[in-house]
Amino acid sequence: MNRREFVKVVGLGSLAVYLSGCGLTAIKTSGNDDGEVAAQESVSRGKNMKIVVINSSPHSEEQSTSRYLASRFVRGASDVGHEVFVFDAANEETHPCRGCDQCGMDGACIFDDAIEEKLMPQMLHADLLVLVTPLYYFGMSAQLKTVVDRFYSRTTRLGSKKSMIIATAWNSADWTMEALKVHYETLVRYMGWQDVGQVWAVGCGSRQMVESSEFGDLAYKIGAGL
């Protein structure tokens, strides 16, 4: 699709960050407008969490808008002592679920790929899963969806975790992220996750746009405020 198709509804880069669950409480009850969070109010309750961040943009680290926000989040979380594992769904070897049911929804996948070997062990031990995606045709990227579908092999064991989403898009109309938001929230509900933050970075179609937006600082503060 021509990029202009997405440009036509771009207005002023409006702020679109939704925080929910403990994340919302943490930021809103902080003592100042800079998002400083008292330890006892945080999602982690002072414990060092294991965080798995799943990047899915095919753009490079230097070009990608979603990777930029993910890296700011990671910096924030690392600065306060959380342990972060980052998986690159766009560049690792991954395979989409074949629906063969060999896993029985609770066992090894037939694919011996990076999802099974590198990501799954990390996810099973993680406290917080962070889904990171560019908006592709109003949904998540195929690279991220490939990983999400592979949750099938450990659906129950991946339940009861905390979760978060970071998404970037070119458009900034108020409906830009609507479909992805519904999808994410449905996933949270089905998986039994506790959503701790949603960053909907609209009007962030290029690196320059995202770097000059407020979303980088917000991503950092969410990480540091966990």
Ligand X SMILES: Cc1cc2nc3c(=O)[nH]c(=O)nc-3n(C[C@H](O)[C@H](O)[C@H](O)COP(=O)(O)O)c2cc1C
For position 18 contacting ligand X by CB under 6 A, the verdict is: no
Question: 43, 120, 135, 188: which one contacts ligand X (CB under 6 A)?
Answer: 135
- Cβ closest to ligand X, residue 151 vs residue 215: 215
DSSP 199-221: EEETT--SHHHHHTSSHHHHHHH
Judged by CB under 6 A, does residue 205 bind ligand X?
yes
CA angle 205, 73, 143 (to 5 degrees): 55
Site mask, ligand X, residues 74-113, x = CB under 6 A?
----------------------------------------
Question: Could you say which of 18, 75, 86, 138 contacts ligand X (CB under 6 A)?
Answer: 138
| C-alpha to C-alpha distance for 73 and 215, rounded to whole angstroms | 10
Q: By C-beta, is 156 or 208 nearer to ligand X?
A: 208
- 66 lines the binding site for ligand X (CB under 6 A): yes
Considering only residues 171 through 190, tell me which ones interact with ligand X, judged by CB under 6 A: 171, 176
Separation of alpha carbons 87 and 24, rounded Å: 26
Q: Could you say whether residue 67 binds ligand X (CB under 6 A)?
A: yes
Q: Quickly list DSSP for 56-93.
A: --SS-TTT-HHHHHHHHHHHHHHHTT-EEEEEETTTS-
Strand order in the sheet with 50-55: 17-18, 194-201, 162-168, 128-134, 50-55, 83-88
Answer yes or no whether residue 170 interacts with ligand X by CB under 6 A: yes
Q: Which residues bind ligand X (CB under 6 A)?
A: 6, 57, 59, 64-67, 134-138, 168-171, 176, 204-205
